[in-house]
Chain A
């Protein structure tokens, strides 16, 4: 069965520190993968997506993600976190249906 797992429910980082949010997928074929961000009380905004080709994908707001087939992962990274990055982050995939992970809440401390 297809699924998406985000192992970290909550992460706290200092402003200026690097960030990595984990995402693992389960799917028989190569899935299409996405990362979304949600500010409190708002809808979801697409950060980046992977369909094929280069496994390192650049997105908006300085985020990037790397697709690793051998690890079934699509982790989101940012080299230097800003206070405005505090939000909920969702990993998603499509195969025969669109699946979301349960989200990772990011807190940024000054």
Chain B
């Protein structure tokens, strides 16, 4: 069964460093998403991406965040200068589009120290 793959599963970084979280969506999907879950809290929408551009972003997704699809298969989330409060589980999701069945990756746990 096709699945969304995220790497790494866990990343530890120092405050102020840049991190890139990687995702390989399901191959025929057209819509891509990043969500964030701070430990013990709900899953929150960060950004959606369609047709090589951001289609919607939340207020959490400020100038420190960026997304891109560099090569037609990977979908990345970059945090330019990490803060302690960026520590969270980051989930990538993808969907075909017309039906909102979002398939989630297993998540990347980001720890900022």
A binds B: no
Interface residues of A (CB under 8 A from B): none
Residues on B facing A (Cβ under 8 Å): none
